[in-house]
Amino acid sequence: LQFAKAGMSAAANFAWVNRSCITYLTRKAFKEVFHREPDDMGMHLVYDVCHNIAKVEKHVIDGEEKTLLVHRKGSTRAFPPHHPNIPKDYQSIGQPVLIGGTMGTCSYVLVGTPKGMSETFGSTCHGAGRALSRNQSRKRLDHEEVLEQLRKDGIAIRVASPKLV
């Protein structure tokens, strides 16, 4: 178990550094294009959370508090208001959850609730999910048709390879 936790900690650290690099490079690109400091444009990090990770947490099972290793594969934490493990800024509303939609659909901003805490250990999905696997979609869909439909819907994307559409 210790080996698995150490590996997951290393992966979480790698992911955090990756997100930090993306944030830095995005801010740098905006500065170069608009010739203004990112802070002057209100470009500050709003929220950062990991997903697909296991954490040691306390939860109530059959009326008894237990310490558990909760692995959220395909999900993320969504703790309710006033939970001690969420940042001070979100204590009054609950832990924010950002669920990205698919290309051409809406995204959602949610918060954790007491009901979610009791029923799911404070977990929720972290993405829209897929109707098809990436491989299935490449086989069934023509990337040019997908790009044309997105264009008709007013959505512009730029990709390095058709495999990414």
Residues belonging to the active site: 126
46: tokens are 């709003």
The CA–CA distances, whole Å, from 43 to 29, 49, 52, 135 equal 12, 18, 27, 36
Q: Which residue has the tokens 């008894």?
A: 64
Say if CB 155 and CB 103 are below 8 A apart: yes
H or E element that contains 21? helix 2-34
3-state class of 44 per DSSP? coil
Contacts of 84 (CB under 8 A, 6+ apart): none
- HSE value, Cβ hemisphere, 13 Å, CA-based, for 49: 25
